[in-house]
Amino acid sequence: MNREVSTNKQPAQESGAFGIDPIALEVFNYRLGAIAEEMGVTLCRSAFSPNIKERRDFSCALFDAAGELVAQAAHIPVHLGSTPLSVRAAITQCVIQPGDVIVLNDPYAGGTHLPDVTVVAPVFHGPRLVGYVANRAHHADIGGMSPGSMPLATEIYQEGLRLPPVHLLRRGRMVQDVLAIFLANTRVLEQRRGDLLAQVAALRVGQSRLSELIRRDGASRVGIAMRALQTYSERLMRAALRRFPTGTYRAVDYLDDDGEGSRALRIAVTVELSGGRARVDFAGTSAQARGGVNTNLAVTLASVYYVFRALAARSIPANAGMMRPIEVKGPKGSLVNAEFPAAVAGGNVETSQRIVDVLLRALARARPLEIPAASCGSMNNLAFGGSDPLRRRSFSYYETIAGGAGGGPSGPGCSALHTHMTNTWNTPIEAIESELPVRIVRYNVRRGSGGRGRHAGGDGIVREIEFLTRARVTLLTERRRFAPFGARGGGPGKRGANNLVRHGRVSALPGKISLTVEKGERLRVATPGGGAWGVRKRRH
């Protein structure tokens, strides 16, 4: 029998006990959120890699003195729902003093997958610890068995450098040994140095702005506001959950495969809703796979919290209070709560999307006229690298490619955008071609790929890349076998397709593959469309 991990939160006290008026509370909410946003601007403008400065694959957040989430910027859902576990690991495993910065990426210490590197720093007011600032950024190469560090691995050791919580800075001084180890495990050293230092710079901005707020309003009042915001979010989430009919709702969906021979990997969920609380249980989900589509519990939590926040009738400040009314159970050793040393590179990006799909399918049974059809259901991960003869240096690149959003009760799904657990931007053609020995020969909306129905699904896109030198390529994609489903009788979205164009001949590629391409060969990725909502009305 599988053991289970539960995340049952205890109710907080009523916000009225804090004695802070609603207007002041709203001002504090925006002030704290603005700090996280400014951290993000600093990180984006300081970073070296296209993945961070162009695609914006990073997230920033603030935490209270206990390590509980207080505010976050509108960045990446899969990062922000899981970062609290990394912060908790940092503050429980390290002694943190003023001027310190902790770095980690271990998925088994609250991380997501190895390329996502988290940095955490304390904020002191005199001798008093008042909170933490943190950010997480996806580094486009952190070692491992293939460029881009998104390999088809069977254990985490193959995926790259794994850092437990360790000091990157002590009392403001760089720990050179840790930095040297980090840089020794990447194919693109200068990018990694620049991106990591940009993360530290963002922490400095967060510390400075939070300190300014404390000097203005006092440490006690800021602390009271943090707790009041968490209580406010808890009350809003409870109210949102009460809008659902009391009952038990179930659904099942499947991953295409794990890239290692296992197909139709089952994700099952049971959602119990009652009295302003939700209990989400993934019993019946497939055991963890040999291939790297496993998730740790942090990613599963992030996916669940995202869904319930997205379905709320009004905006809920994203903090620890929002999570308290939601209990999540995942069987140990399953796809949604994998045990060490399972490979997890694809779980963060692909399995998280399927968790969202299956939850929406279950909750559609409770509120069928409000839940949209499935979106494209894949981040369509592409990583490649090699040696650039023109620039005389190694290169490594990673991106996710957009798809179609599901149609909903209020209208059709949007085309050519990132959905659900990713919130990244398009990587401009100019940025790719200026940095890498490739040429983008095709980039267009994949017309007709959205499902047909009363409200059509959004269309995916086609991205075709010509390689100007030999390279090693990895694809981690989904919805190549199981199409994004429609809702209320709407049709499914078109499945994605991966192809290699070699000497004018087009060859189909599987959804998950690592291969070597030669100069002049082209990779074509056609992403899935979203499912449609409702049956199309007949014309009389």
Per-residue model confidence as pLDDT tens digits over 432-450: 999 999 999 999 999 999 9
- β strands within 354-459, DSSP E: 381-388, 393-400, 438-446
Q: Is residue 135 part of a domain?
A: yes
Which pLDDT value is given to residue 83? 87
Q: Is residue 361 part of a domain?
A: no
Mean pLDDT along residues 212-231: 95
Residue 137 has pLDDT above 50, yes or no: yes
- CA 229 vs. chain centroid, Å, equals 24
Which pLDDT value is given to residue 423? 84
Query: CA-CA distance, 55 to 71, in Å (whole number)?
Result: 22
Report residue 258's pLDDT band, with 50, 70 and 90 as the boundaries: very high
Choose one of 196, 217, 235: the last residue of a domain: 235
Residue 10 has pLDDT above 50, yes or no: no
Choose one of 205, 235, 265: the last residue of a domain: 235
- Identify the residue with better confidence: 41 or 6: 41
Average of per-residue pLDDT values in the chain: 94
Q: Is residue 219 part of a domain?
A: yes
Which pLDDT value is given to residue 497? 98
Q: Is residue 316 part of a domain?
A: no
Percent of the chain with pLDDT over 90: 90
- Identify the residue with better confidence: 504 or 267: 267
Which pLDDT value is given to residue 79? 77
Percent of the chain with pLDDT over 70: 96
Q: Is residue 326 part of a domain?
A: no
Which pLDDT value is given to residue 540? 55
Q: Name the residue type at position 486.
A: G
Which pLDDT value is given to residue 539? 66
For residue 21, give its domain range.
Answer: 8-235
Q: Is residue 460 part of a domain?
A: yes
Query: CA-CA distance, 187 to 185, in Å (whole number)?
Result: 7
Dihedral angle sign, alpha carbons of residues 418, 423, 424, 425: positive
Integer CA distances (angstroms), 464 to 117, 138, 379, in order: 29, 23, 16
Half-sphere exposure of 383 (CA within 13 A, CB side): 31
Which pLDDT value is given to residue 97? 97
Dihedral angle sign, alpha carbons of residues 373, 377, 380, 381: positive
273-330 pLDDT per residue, tens: 999 999 999 999 999 999 999 999 999 999 999 999 999 988 899 999 999 999 999 9
Residue 532 has pLDDT above 60, yes or no: yes
Choose one of 207, 235, 263: the last residue of a domain: 235
Q: Is residue 150 part of a domain?
A: yes
Tokens of 290: 């040999």
Q: Is residue 98 part of a domain?
A: yes
Which pLDDT value is given to residue 74? 74
Helix axes 297-311, 352-363, angle to 10 degrees: 40
Report residue 18's pLDDT band, with 50, 70 and 90 as the boundaries: low
Put the strands of the sheet holding 438-446 in their side by side order.
Answer: 438-446, 460-467, 522-526, 497-502, 505-509
47-89 pLDDT per residue, tens: 999 999 999 999 999 999 999 999 998 778 887 778 899 999 9
Integer CA distances (angstroms), 463 to 54, 62, 205, 496, in order: 17, 36, 37, 12
161-171 pLDDT per residue, tens: 999 999 999 99
H or E element that contains 517: strand 512-517
pTM: 0.94
**How do strand 101-104 and strand 116-125 relate by DSSP bridges?**
antiparallel
**How many domains in the chain?**
2
Which pLDDT value is given to residue 47? 97
Query: CA-CA distance, 531 to 496, in Å (whole number)?
Result: 13
Which pLDDT value is given to residue 75? 73
